[in-house]
Structure 1
């Protein structure tokens, strides 16, 4: 893995870890306060929900990078190697097209939602919806980094911390 890719994956991973940790602390504190003092943090549920949205979109690129998304691969398995590579090229073009469309449409949607405010925290919904173009851009970058190995050998990245093929065989 080259330097850019290593730092990119590490940054993405730490963003996920910090989001999940912060979300867990907020929810735990809210539940503890609710049962111990009969009062809760008014904004906790809303903020945790928004963090979950960001977690989902930021994490989708990492999951795709390691081959963790559901895929129907029977068609390419039925054909010889050159034809299956051609099928993967078509799939790659369609995926990249979708990721680019997701990024652009998400950006437009984010701009339109900047005038509507959330109920508890009163921040523009555009900041929550910004997870869509951010996630789309991350998907583009992650997919571009594994594209060659995906097309030639249907291989994704491997990592000691995440092995999608091991969990699929359980």
Structure 2
């Protein structure tokens, strides 16, 4: 594998390592929050009303950030039926084309997500009375991380010694060296 492909793959796995830890932390907070919500609703009658809203925002942030992890492991949607039937040179170009299309989509999502989050700072949440921009900023952040992953995986796909054999998980596990 060329040095560029190897470096891109290593950086992709490093970014993914961080994203996975953040997602696990968000999941842990989500589980604690939901259990607290169940406790205060059915067992201990406390007037804690924030648990539903917090759970919603934690789940959205976690799901959005997990998209980049799916990109790193090549678990995103691909046209596998067509992809596996093509010769190696065409598979390489199709994989790069998927990366470019994904990058364009997440680039647009990042750009419009910035405006969405900015407008959210003018509105407040119902329970916390905090600006919704903090919750909405998960959209451009997740899109930016997805763009970084797609750029790294695109470099890997383009410079790898062998063309990818599938658009699924083999890339991050060393299958298209």
Short-chain TM bin: 0.7 to 0.9
Query: Is the contact between residue 110 and residue 130 of structure 1 (CA under 8 Å) also seen in structure 2?
Result: yes
Structure 1 position 87, deviation (Å): 2.0
Q: Which residue of 1 aligns with 2:75?
A: 68
Is 1:30 aligned with 2:45? Answer: no
Give the match for residue 171 of structure 2. Answer: 156
Query: Is the 1:92–1:147 Cα contact (8 Å) retained in structure 2?
Result: yes
Higher relative contact order (CA 8 A, sep 6+): 2
User: Could you tell me how far apart the structure 1 residues matched to 2:81 and 2:35 are?
Assistant: 43
The TM-score, its normalising length taken from structure 2, stands at 0.79
For 1:130, the equivalent position in structure 2 comes to: 137
Aligned pairs (5 A) from 1:75-154: 75-151=82-158, 152-153=163-164, 154=166
Alignment length (residue pairs)? 159
> How far apart are the structure 2 equivalents of 1:84 and 1:8?
25
What is the TM-score of this pair, normalised by structure 1? 0.82
Unpaired stretches in structure 1, ≥5 consecutive residues: 160-170
Q: Distance in 1 between matches of 2:11 and 2:94?
A: 29
RMSD over aligned CA atoms reads 2.2
Can you give the 5+ residue segments of structure 2 that lack an aligned partner in the other structure?
Answer: 1-5
Contact 1:30 1:40 in 2 (8 A): no
Q: Which has the higher helix share?
A: 1
For residues 113-139 of structure 1, the C-alpha deviation after alignment (integer angstroms, 9 at most, x for no partner) is: 210111001111111111111001110
- Give me the whole-angstrom Cα distance separating, in 2, the residues matched to 1:67 and 1:135: 16
